[in-house]
Amino acid sequence: MTKGKTDPNPKIKIQNNKERILSQENRKEPLLEILQPSQDIKEWPERQIVIKGKTDPNTKIKIQNNEVEVGKDGIFTYTLELLEGKNIINIIADNGQKQKKITLIITRRGNEAVRLNQNISFSRYIEIFPPGFGKANKAF
């Protein structure tokens, strides 16, 4: 090599390093944050729960194997029907290179609360209309 000429190999190496760095960035795990419900929630009284989260805009989201639309801002929302008892909810983010999975375990106890309210109402009914109430009215 003569003086004044640049060696083309360092440029190629830098370019290859940049390509290598870019390909490593493409392989990083996708962003997946659950905004709602709080991951501290273990019990839920209602039949439906709204799951709201944030990811990268080009990442695909599946909740219980159902693809969920992701907005341009990366926000997604999904309403899920809960079964009575223990529900295992899988949320998967897939950026085409890697996946990230969050599992929520939420127990629905809605029917127990309804049964409790029915029992309270029934008890009040008995107190308002005690046994023999109808017999006393027949005497009049």
List, in order of start, the domains of the chain with CATH numbers: 28-131 (2.60.40.10)
SS3 (DSSP) at 110:
helix
Please state, in angstroms and rounded to a whole number, the distance separating the CA atoms of residues 83 and 25.
40
- Helix ranges restricted to H, the chain: 8-26, 110-128, 133-138
Ordered per-residue pLDDT tens for the chain, 140 residues = 555 555 454 444 445 555 544 544 556 899 999 999 988 889 999 999 999 999 999 999 999 999 999 999 999 999 999 999 999 999 999 999 999 999 999 999 865 544 444 444 443 444 444 555 555 555 44
Residue 116, token pair as written in the block? 């409790």
Supply the pTM of this predicted model. Answer: 0.60
